Amino acid sequence: MIAVLKPSATQEQIESLTKWLESRGLSVHISKGDFCTILGLIGDTSQIDTELLGSLEMVDSVKRITEPFKNANRKFHPDDSIIDINGLKIGGAHFQVIAGPCSVESPEQILAIAQSVKASGATILRGGAFKPRTSPYAFQGMRGDGIELLLEAKRQTGMPIVTEIMNASHLPVFEHVDIIQVGARNMQNFELLKELGMTRKPILLKRGLANTLEELLMSAEYIIAGGNRNIILCERGIRTFETYTRNTLDLSAVPMLKELSHLPVIVDPSHASGIARLVQPMSMAAVAAGAHGLMIEVHNDPSKALCDGAQSLTPEQFAEVSEKVRKIREVIK
């Protein structure tokens, strides 16, 4: 870490700051120029708050040489992490397609969709049981019962399942869930991340609506700090001023995250735009950008499609996306 001090910094201030930094276990290398003084901080700087340091009167600016995330950092782990999900692999050269409905609604619904998406190339089943809803008056999901239905679909199809957790106290219900999803709104629910770090479950960590890539990796770091290295990162759109799409899918995040970290990176094109007809082009773009997987919403019941269909594909549309994605995969391999 480099701290550039202002020309106005007095000798006394510099000494006081140096002493304080040394008390934090860092060694300080002072380089005095004609026009400013630079402190080079050596040691474990991950516990230093750059924002705090940078806003001291005497400090002009602070710059990390190493990113604040260590365990998630590719520098210290050059090889791709490959996450094992009951024998299925994701990361490196391994690519997986997650598909399923927004919410689990009934035994028939989840099983029919599971069978359909499996036939079209999906390898992992998704389905919402605990649903984060903006309104307290909206359907909050089937909760524990929904997870039971997912587990039944898993037994019948053999597909691993992924579903979202909203509270660490629900963890016992997730015992047989293969991948636990942390939703965008909980990306910085640090108490939840700490609890998930205690498990050894694969965690699908979604980027928050307004979170930077560094913050996403810091949240991954929370989980790894607890001992759980099984993390899959997921880009799902960020909040911008554009209104035609619900969120703006940030596909540059895919190559950028792959450069910064060894963790697998997947893309959710359904939630990003909120528009079913954008799912196909954005799925193809995500794969061309190098994503390790996709997570796509599929519904099955045409009569219900009425209010399920906003961002979900029909099984036929999903089959078409699945086939095109396969071809793009061949090109970029």
CA 96 remoteness from chain centre? 15
Shortest Cβ distance from residue 27 to a second copy (Å)?
A: 9
Shortest Cβ distance from residue 21 to a second copy (Å)?
A: 9
Shortest Cβ distance from residue 94 to a second copy (Å)?
A: 18
Shortest Cβ distance from residue 38 to a second copy (Å)?
A: 6
Shortest Cβ distance from residue 110 to a second copy (Å)?
A: 19
**Cβ nearer to a second copy, comparing 177 with 276:** 276
**Cβ nearer to a second copy, comparing 178 with 308:** 308
Buried b (16+ CB within 10 A) or exposed e, 186-211: bbbbeebbebbbebebbbbbbbbeeb
C-alpha 33/C-alpha 174 separation (Å) is 58
What values do phi and psi take at 177, rounded to 5?
-75, 140
Q: Around Cβ 133, how many Cβ atoms within 10 Å?
A: 10
C-alpha 310/C-alpha 101 separation (Å) is 12
**Cβ 264 vs Cβ 233: under 8 Å:** yes
**Cβ nearer to a second copy, comparing 107 with 274:** 274
Shortest Cβ distance from residue 56 to a second copy (Å)?
A: 6
CA 125 remoteness from chain centre? 18
Shortest Cβ distance from residue 156 to a second copy (Å)?
A: 29
**Cβ nearer to a second copy, comparing 54 with 121:** 54
**Cβ nearer to a second copy, comparing 38 with 82:** 38
CA distances (Å), origin 81, targets 59, 147, 288, 330: 38, 28, 20, 22
**Cβ 329 vs Cβ 93: under 8 Å:** no
**Cβ 63 vs Cβ 282: under 8 Å:** no
C-alpha 67/C-alpha 46 separation (Å) is 8
Shortest Cβ distance from residue 263 to a second copy (Å)?
A: 16
**Cβ nearer to a second copy, comparing 222 with 318:** 222
Q: Around Cβ 6, how many Cβ atoms within 10 Å?
A: 14
**Cβ nearer to a second copy, comparing 133 with 200:** 133
**Cβ nearer to a second copy, comparing 152 with 301:** 301
